[in-house]
Amino acid sequence: MTNSKSRKYFGTDGIRGRANAYPMTADIALKVAMATAKLMKRENSEKHNRVVIGKDTRLSCYMLEQALTSGFLAMGMDVVLTGPIPTPAIAMLTRSLRADVGVMISASHNKFEDNGIKLFGHDGYKLPDEIEQQIESWIDNPDLTTTDLPQPAEVGRAKRMDDAVGRYVEFAKSSFPRGLSLEGLKIVVDCANGAAYKVAPQALWELGAEVIAIGVEPNGKNINKDCGATATEALQQKVISEKADLGIALDGDADRLIMVDEKGTRIDGDQLLCLLATRLQEKGFLKQNTVVATVMSNLGMERYLKSKNIELLRTPVGDRYVVEKIREGNYELGGEQSGHIIVPHFGTTGDGLIAALQILAIIVEQGRKASAVLSLFNPVPQILKNVRFEKGAKPLDQKIVQDEIEQAEKSLNGSGRLLVRPSGTEPLIRVMAEGDDANQVEEIVDNLCAVIGKAS
């Protein structure tokens, strides 16, 4: 794996930053499209190339969509525009339309001021690091916008895809067992005022549920604002006030899933992964009795899976690394505590709606309340805090920080875990500790954050 920090534009999940500020500008978006098109056309020079572009509901998506479209058209690629749609839908449509590349304009769970560009290959998987590096090498090349341009008759065409939402709804519904129905379930779904504001309520309703939808009034500035998978308080309250059977929370681009049981208890990705793993194991579908997760997944999850003779393989943080490990070992399930859940049988990337439908199928089959189904293990105390640092600073290289980390690991003495890492998308150092002693864990995190703060 390539260290994202060694790259200029791409991080762990595409290019991301504050909208209309470098590098998330219309100019860079134009160059990203032209650079990507140049590579795609070299690999497939004998065909007419096609790109699918989707977006979430951020105000800046209009700007970036137009810039990307112009760049691809200028290089002779046809563009299919889907409008607001989940990230996994772009992965699916790239394959379905036999496109050369798919683009999702989204900063996922980030606030509306941020935006990002995610690139998918023709197979629906996010582009590998080496391809992203080739794109980077072209973005700043002064010859990019002046050489190898098509003749006037060879520039691309753009068209809107009117049925993109319907296609994805049918795709998602096809993952739900045909013999089952959601009839009799009252479900609150929070779409984070994001990309799934149409598709998620529609799919659940068509499968028979009584749907109460919140976070479905995007205005360009309210995506992820006090709603969705990263802020579930409104959903928890709504589930209780409506006496609903459960709640579903998606994030801005709908590749994450967090659930809420009928008591208003928040259920994270670790619990959902354990439920899916044990269900797949029972049916004989859990390949090699292995689940892939990241270094952030709770120690309690690892202990639970071990009790079921299921091996947990850990990767760096980022769903792309989970997907890489899944493909490498031909595994059947992986994900993150944050709610990215990848079931390769149904898709090539995290898909909040499809993951929710798999969980709902289990609840329907068991005929029990969500609270009796969704919580399988008691998580050990885990604390995560962030320390912001100035651009260019390298606090983790400071000896005082390294010494504090070493001391913290010694104090845990095998009874817990410590993880200190830079964010792949923001200028933050993330400090996570977990262990059986909650007071010790909190003290370790607070002390480390203080030391890192001084070194920043």
Place of tokens 């068991």: 366
36-45, 127-136, 169-178, 297-306: which has the minimum mean pLDDT? 36-45
Neighbours of 365 (CB within 10 A): 13
**21 Cβ neighbours under 8 A, 6+ residues apart:** none
For 308-387, where are the alpha helices, taking DSSP H only?
Answer: 319-329, 352-366, 370-374
Average pLDDT, the chain: 94
pLDDT digits (tens, 9 = 90+) for 197-241: 999 999 999 999 999 999 999 999 999 999 999 999 999 999 999
pLDDT digits (tens, 9 = 90+) for 116-171: 999 999 999 999 989 999 999 999 999 998 888 999 999 999 999 999 999 999 99
pLDDT digits (tens, 9 = 90+) for 307-322: 999 999 999 988 999 9
What's the rounded Cα separation, in Å, for the pair 433 and 420?
8
In order of 235, 267, 277, 362, the CA distances from 261 in angstroms are 10, 7, 19, 14
Place of tokens 């885990």: 382
| β-bridge partners, 313 | 292
Share of the chain above pLDDT 90, in %: 89
Average pLDDT value for residue range 332-347:
96
* pLDDT reported for residue 76: 95
Top CATH class, 4-162: alpha beta
* pLDDT reported for residue 46: 64
What's the rounded Cα separation, in Å, for the pair 141 and 132?
15
**For domain 269-374, is the CATH number 3.40.120.10?**
yes
Q: Give span(s): CATH 3.40.120.10, the chain.
A: 4-162, 167-262, 269-374
For 255-414, where are the alpha helices, taking DSSP H only?
Answer: 269-282, 299-307, 319-329, 352-366, 370-374, 399-412
Catalytic, 174? Answer: no
Which of 294, 304, 293, 428 is closest to 375 using CA atoms? 304
Find the angle CA(266)-CA(269)-CA(273) to the nearest 5 degrees.
125
Q: Helix 269-282 crosses helix 352-366 at what angle (to 10 degrees)?
A: 60
Q: Give span(s): CATH 3.30.310.50, the chain.
A: 382-455
pLDDT of 4 > 60? The answer is no
* pLDDT reported for residue 190: 98
Instruction: Name the pairing type of β-strands 311-315 and 290-294.
Output: parallel
* pLDDT reported for residue 343: 96
Which of 32, 109, 100 is closest to 65 using CA atoms? 32
Which of 290, 129, 119, 266 is closest to 190 using CA atoms? 266
Evaluate whether 272 touches 355 at the Cβ level (below 8 Å). Answer: yes
28: enclosing H helix or E strand:
helix 26-43
**290 Cβ neighbours under 8 A, 6+ residues apart:** 310, 311, 312, 313, 329, 331
Predicted confidence band at 1 (pLDDT cuts at 50, 70, 90)? very low
CATH number for the domain formed by residue range(s) 382-455: 3.30.310.50
- What is the longest distance spanned by two Cα atoms in the chain? 69
* pLDDT reported for residue 7: 78
* pLDDT reported for residue 5: 47
pLDDT digits (tens, 9 = 90+) for 355-414: 999 999 999 999 999 999 999 999 999 999 999 998 778 899 999 999 999 999 999 987
Which of 321, 255, 258 is closest to 11 using CA atoms? 321
* pLDDT reported for residue 455: 86
> Which of 108, 175, 297, 338 is the catalytic position?
108
What's the rounded Cα separation, in Å, for the pair 239 and 263?
8
CATH number for the domain formed by residue range(s) 167-262: 3.40.120.10
**How many helices (H) does the chain have, and how many strands (E)?**
14, 19
Which of 250, 258, 208, 212 is closest to 109 using CA atoms? 250
* pLDDT reported for residue 2: 41
